[in-house]
């Protein structure tokens, strides 16, 4: 993974800086949003996956979170809105080629 990518994610502020992208192993990874909630999408050789929160309160409640990604404001399902620590875990999952069903969906 690009060593500057963690700094790129840290700069995401939800207004001026809203998108960071890199390659992690065989995955093209996009992290968007900020500064408190983020989305993570990864495209691999045969599939596209989205990281999901492990916070049970946000998994199935139908709520949305307004995030700006790539300059576009979108109401994302709350299940995709990750904390920064969840982003770090998701990136580690991708680097280790292990995508637990509890944190990822196709």
**Percent of the chain residues past pLDDT 90, beyond the cut:** 86
At 1 the pLDDT is 63
- pLDDT grade for 3, boundaries at 50, 70 and 90: confident
pTM: 0.93
Dihedral of the alpha carbons of 61, 64, 70, 72, in degrees to the nearest 10: 150
At 52 the pLDDT is 96
Contact status, residue 24 vs residue 42, Cβ threshold 8 Å = yes
Q: Per mean pLDDT, which range of 1-5, 11-15, 39-43 is the poorest?
A: 1-5
For residue range 34-72, list pLDDT tens digits in order. 999 999 999 999 999 999 999 887 777 788 999 999 999
Contact status, residue 50 vs residue 41, Cβ threshold 8 Å = yes
Mean pLDDT score, 84-91:
96
pLDDT above 80: residue 99: yes
């Amino acid at each position: 993974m690009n060593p500057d990518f963690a700094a790129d994610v840290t700069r995401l502020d939800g207004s001026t800086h809203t998108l960071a992208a890199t390659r992690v192993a065989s995955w093209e990874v996009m992290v968007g949003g900020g500064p408190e909630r983020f989305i993570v999408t990864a495209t691999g050789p045969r599939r596209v996956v989205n990281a999901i929160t492990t916070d049970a309160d946000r998994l199935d409640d139908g709520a949305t979170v307004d995030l700006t990604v790539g300059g576009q404001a979108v109401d994302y399902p709350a299940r995709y809105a990750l904390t920064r620590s969840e982003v770090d875990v998701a990136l580690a999952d991708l680097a280790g080629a292990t995508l637990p069903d509890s944190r990822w969906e196709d």
